[in-house]
A = this chain, B = another copy of it.
Amino acid sequence: MAESTLLFSEIRNVQKFMRDETIVPQGESATCWYEVVHGAVRVCQYHSDGRRQIIGFAFPGDVVGLEWGMRQSCAEALVPSQLFRHDLSDLSLRMGGVPTAVNGEHPALESALAAAHQSIALLGLPTALERVAGFLLALARRLNCGTLLCLPMPRVDIADYLGLTMHTVSRTMSELVRRGLIALDAPNRARILAPEHLGELAGFDFPEDTVGEAQLVA
Contacts and interface: CB of A to CB of B under 8 A. Distances in A.
A91 interface: yes
Interface in A159-191: 160-165
A154 interface: no
Given A56-B120, A73-B117, A113-B66, A49 B200 contact: yes
Contacts of A113: 66, 109, 112-113, 116
Interface residues of A, number: 59
A21 interface: no
B55 A120 contact: yes
Interface of A (DSSP majority class): loop
A114 interface: yes
A48 interface: yes
Contacts of A80: none
Interface in A104-133: 104-106, 109-110, 112-114, 116-121, 123-126
